[in-house]
Amino acid sequence: MVSFFQMLDEVNERIYKPNGLTLTAAREEAQNSDYGGGVFRLNARSVRLRVAKITPRKAGQFVVFWEKDESGKNAAYSPDTATDLLVVHAFADTKGCSGQFVFPKDALVNQNILKTAATPGKMATRVYPSWDTPVSKQAMSTQAWQLPYFINLNDNDHSRIQRLIGLYTG
């Protein structure tokens, strides 16, 4: 498993620094360390990073994001406690692929991932990178809303990197 600081160092050197983005205030989130969990600031935006886990029997990858509520129970983030962006880094075991989902807070609210007065939110979900081919209708629907926020990082195609920077800078 890739740790938060390993992932952050790699992305900082490959994407952030060369494109003039400044990373500050990085800290690991112990409760989500199994998923490379941590938070940082990128220029003026707050970012929560996770590394998705490949699951052998199901398409897509699994990722968690939760906090402890006031009574010490695991709870979904709310718009007030969520960062500006949720970044999920995905890998493919056999294809040598990697990429990032950069979800803005409003997309997470629209997809009922953040808790609101109307929805309990989610503490975990599956992500479906472009190289995955889900078969269930629900998984295909999930991939359809997720793909506009996904960038495949397998090559250094300038337009892909610029699109990724656009997702970060919003």
Taking only the tens of pLDDT, the chain with its 170 residues reads 788 999 999 999 999 999 999 999 999 998 888 899 999 999 999 999 999 999 888 889 999 999 888 899 999 999 999 999 999 999 886 667 899 999 999 999 999 999 999 999 999 999 999 999 999 999 999 999 999 999 998 866 788 889 999 999 98
Predicted pLDDT of residue 158: 83
136-153: b (≥16 Cβ within 10 Å) or e: eeebeebbeebeebbbbb
Going from the N-terminus, what domains does the chain have, and what CATH number goes with each?
4-169 (3.40.1350.140)
Paired residues of 46 in beta bridges: 41
Cα separation of 25 and 61, whole Å?
A: 28
Pair type for strands 85-91 and 45-51: parallel
Integer-rounded Cα radius of gyration of the chain = 15
Q: Is the pTM of this model over 0.85?
A: yes
Nearest by Cα to 101 from 169, 41, 167? 167
CA 25 vs CA 9, 32, 86, 150, 154: distances in Å? 13, 17, 16, 25, 28
Residue 60: its pLDDT value, please? 93
Q: Which pLDDT does position 94 carry in this prediction?
A: 66
Check residue 170 and give its pLDDT.
84
* DSSP H/E element including 51: strand 45-51
